[in-house]
Amino acid sequence: MTHPAEDTADPGPAHASAPAGSEPGAHASRPGQGRRHGLTAAEVAERVARGQVNDVPVRSSRSISEIVRANVFTRFNAIIGVLFGIILVVGPIQDGLFGLVIVANTAIGVVQEVRAKQTLDSLALIGEARPEVRRDGQAQQVAVAEIVLDDTVLLGIGDKVIVDGLVSEADGLEIDESLLTGEPDPVLKQPGDPMMSGSFVVAGAGAFTATKVGREAYAAQLAEEASRFTLVKSELRSGIDTILRFITWLLVPTAIGLVISQWSVEHNDWREAVRRTVAGIVPMVPEGLVLLTSVAFAIGVVRLGRKQCLVQELPAIEGLARVDTVCLDKTGTLTEGGMDVLELRPLGSAADRPAEPAVLQRALGAMGGADARPNASMQAVIDAYGSGAPDGQEWRVLEAAPFSSARKWSGVQLLEPGGTEASWLLGAPDVLLPDGHPALTEVDELGAQGLRVLLLGRTPVALDAPDPAKDLQPLALVVLQQRVRPDAAETLRYFADQRVDAKVISGDSAVSVGAVATGLGLPGADHPVDARTLPDDRQALADTVERTTVFGRVSPQQKRDLVGALQSRGHTVAMTGDGVNDVLALKDADIGVAMGSGSEATRAVAQIVLLDDRFATLPSVVAEGRRVIGNIERVASLFLVKTVYSVLLALLVVFTQSPYPFLPRHSTVLSALTIGIPAFFLALAPNTERAKPGFVKRVLRIAVPGGVIAGTATFTAYALARSDHDTNLTADTSVATLTLFLVAIWVLAIVARPYTWWRLALIGSMCGLFTLVLTVPWLSDFFQLKLVGTRDPWTGVVIAVTAGLLLELVWIFIRRSLKE
């Protein structure tokens, strides 16, 4: 039997106050205590003047100079630049058009990445944490960069420790240092204990004195690394880099052989030899592939930025394209952060009269008053019953136990009117009550309606006892109504349509979570599983996770284990969350998605932050990832087909000792019309197909046979034309250009499938532009293209059509092999 209760992130006091009658800083003599009132304005100004400020910039993107260097100073730009310089010497200028294309492409890359940088920087500023410090006796929020040495930094549940320091105040302060040490267990901190930046608060409240700021603090390195705009650790990027390394090694000996052969063939005209050598080398370089990849990613960042989605690591866009399972935390994801108290239901039996509602409300009000930063559950209690005792009767807080994900309750020890001391606990009924308690049946009935239920109880046992819940007298059920996000059902339907499994993993009761998920139409939600019954065996756990949709009563460590179990079965997992109980799972998931209003800790470890908390933004993020990786795969095939046929043509020319079939101007027009212009549009088109591993293998499956067929067909048409008129090299080149264009446009037609009106229009436009080049006199003169007679041109057309049909057969075989 399962019982609804509080989620692991609730209830408070999340920021329990110091015991009544005491003041922060009462132990001023203890190490690390710091100053009771914090620094004065004059002391802050003095430290700023000395440079003792946390002035390390948290960059969400590369600097403009780094962007320019990354786009301009590349290996292939250097090769193209040298060849462009050679053509400027030997002329004519139309053979140097390829150099202008490189300049234009590089400029586009710089502009797009600068736009992405501006978007990222502005979004990072919006989502930046603003810690609280105490200055001149007042708590105030400051920017991370405004913290100075010896500042008193205040901490509450979910806050990230920004700089290093020593604890000065602690009220049940528990720190999770797992991101630094790997140890999952929270550490209880006392005044004088060290605080390491990069850790975060999971329970209690406190303050610490900053002892290391700026570049001396570990947080500076952690924050910069977590927020940097990066193009690394990506299967797409690493696959392209692998291909480019192979091409570089292949290019060197082929280029040397081409140089020697063209000088041998055209020894009477060294300028012609140089031009045809350059024409053979330039198309071997897939110069636009890296550029279009960067542009596609950068435009993706800008598009998502418009939807208030901060991409902290660029490959996260690609990662989401591969996701096949999304793990959702119910609170803050399927439901909104706010809640409302629906009912305060007193409990009683034949032997015990129910407690007076007024007494219960006073106790709840006192608990609310002990919470400096109430979470959603406690805020609902405060909204309903206030944050102090009514009627002037003081219920003094002697001690407070903040909520812990491990124990699933919070409590306060109160001095009640009349001098009685008692502990009041608020938390999960199925944790605070023994199995079989009559109240649990009532809890189950409420939970089945999707309501959240907390138990309020009273016990004479002190909070610091080994088992404070012992002898607990259950007094009332606090029934809370969660606010379901209006867009949650539609978002879950989107994932179902896209064949992405959605699994709800929550610290709340399984019955309650299942009721909410069932109401949203999530398949399988009517059979929720209580995580406390999950097997310890990893194999059995993985089996259970595969067939189950909803999990309740999941501890933070179990969330991490469930993500790991899914990954062990080959799933690519995205995890969403907003509370500190989600941090471990977010960190281990392939993609972590945090809500903007969530804790600093979740935002720090997530790759993607939804700044406006809109769960409905997730489909846009997934769609953007699929668009990027799916389209880059398409255009990579086009670029590599060109590289393969260029290398093959160069080798055939070397072995036959023939003039290279093209001049640089011909390579430019062919590359622009069959690859460059179409690739730009295809890279930015919608694409909903989920990405799969094996990028390099799939790309080469079409690029290698396509390039071989294109190169063979072109050289065959060229050789046949040369056999008819040895001396008319322009006519031979024109036939070769026609043949290669037709075969390359056929490759484009295959890669562009499935067809839409604009894709057909794109292919038709490229054919129309090439027709203009052949038929408009000044264009044909400019590009030195002139078809002579009918036999050779029609022979080229027949060869191209034959090659196209062969491409279709190869494509059918490739599709079947990919399906297998």
pLDDT digits (tens, 9 = 90+) for 660-701: 888 888 888 898 899 888 988 888 787 777 667 777 888 888
- What percent of the chain has pLDDT above 70? 84
Tens of pLDDT, residues 765-775:
999 999 999 98
The three-class DSSP label of residue 160 is: strand
Least-confidence region, from 483-497, 734-748, 793-807: 483-497
Is the pLDDT at 401 greater than 90, yes or no?
Answer: no
pLDDT at 745: 95
Q: Name the nearest CA neighbour of 674 among 781, 751, 775.
A: 751
CA distance 767 to 673: 8
Tens of pLDDT, residues 157-167:
778 888 889 99
pLDDT at 57: 53
The beta-strand segments (E) located in 635-732 are: none
474 φ, ψ (degrees, to nearest 5): -70, 125
Burial letters 54-90, b for 16+ CB under 10 A, else e: bbbebbbbbeeeebbebbbebebbebbbebbebbeee
Q: Length of the chain, please?
A: 820
Confidence of residue 805 (pLDDT cuts 50, 70, 90): very high
Tokens of 797: 């057309």
Confidence of residue 277 (pLDDT cuts 50, 70, 90): confident
pLDDT at 611: 82
Is the pLDDT at 24 greater than 60, yes or no?
Answer: no
Q: Do domains 41-58+128-227 and 354-479 have the same CATH topology?
A: no
Catalytic (active-site) positions: 329
Greatest pairwise CA separation for the chain in angstroms: 117
pLDDT at 12: 40
Query: Cβ of 487: how many Cβ atoms within 10 Å?
Result: 15
Task: Tell me the CATH number of domain 41-58+128-227, given options 2.70.150.10, 2.40.50.460, 2.40.10.10, 3.40.50.1000.
Answer: 2.70.150.10
Tens of pLDDT, residues 485-538:
888 888 888 888 888 899 998 877 788 888 888 888 888 888 899 888 888 888
**Cα angle for residues 501, 307, 294 (degrees, 5° grid):** 85
Least-confidence region, from 109-123, 332-346, 515-529, 786-800: 109-123
Confidence of residue 5 (pLDDT cuts 50, 70, 90): very low
pTM of the model as a whole: 0.65
Sequence spans of domains, the chain: 41-58+128-227, 64-118+230-302+622-819, 313-334+485-613, 354-479
pLDDT at 440: 87
Q: Which amino acid is at 41?
A: A
Confidence of residue 181 (pLDDT cuts 50, 70, 90): low
CA distance 555 to 584: 11
pLDDT at 18: 36
Torsional class of 275: left (φ above 0), alpha (ψ -120 to 50), beta (otherwise): alpha
pLDDT at 807: 92
CA distance 129 to 192: 25
pLDDT at 388: 62
Q: Does residue 92 have a cis peptide bond before it, meaning omega lies within 30 degrees of 0?
A: yes
pLDDT at 739: 95
pLDDT at 17: 37
* Architecture, CATH, for domain 313-334+485-613: 3-Layer(aba) Sandwich (3.40)
Q: Name the nearest CA neighbour of 162 among 212, 205, 219.
A: 219
Confidence of residue 103 (pLDDT cuts 50, 70, 90): confident
Please state the separation of Cα 551 from the chain's center in Å. 24
Confidence of residue 366 (pLDDT cuts 50, 70, 90): confident
| 612 within 8 A of 363, measured Cβ to Cβ | no
| 61 within 8 A of 114, measured Cβ to Cβ | no
Burial letters 370-403, b for 16+ CB under 10 A, else e: bbbbbbbbbbbbbebbbbbbeeeeebbbbbbbbb
The CATH code of the domain at 354-479 is 3.40.1110.10
| Average pLDDT over the chain, rounded to an integer | 79
CA distance 767 to 765: 5
CA distance 614 to 625: 18
pLDDT at 234: 66
Starting from the edge strand earliest in sequence, which strands make up the sheet with 421-427, in order?
335-346, 473-484, 452-459, 421-427, 409-415, 396-401
CATH topology for 64-118+230-302+622-819? Calcium-transporting ATPase, transmembrane domain (1.20.1110)
| 329 within 8 A of 583, measured Cβ to Cβ | no
Q: What DSSP string describes 415-484?
A: E-TTS-EEEEEEE-HHHHS-TT-HHHHHHHHHHTTT-EEEEEEEESS-TTSS-TTTT-EEEEEEEEEEEE
Tens of pLDDT, residues 307-326:
888 877 666 777 777 888 99
Look at strands 164-176 and 200-212 and give their pairing: antiparallel
pLDDT at 819: 66
Q: Name the nearest CA neighbour of 800 among 736, 713, 719.
A: 713
Is the pLDDT at 88 greater than 90, yes or no?
Answer: no
CA distance 578 to 332: 6
Confidence of residue 56 (pLDDT cuts 50, 70, 90): low
Query: Cβ of 246: how many Cβ atoms within 10 Å?
Result: 13
Tens of pLDDT, residues 380-400:
888 888 766 444 456 788 887
Is the pLDDT at 431 greater than 90, yes or no?
Answer: no
Mean pLDDT over 631-641 rounds to 85
The beta-strand segments (E) located in 603-751 are: 608-610
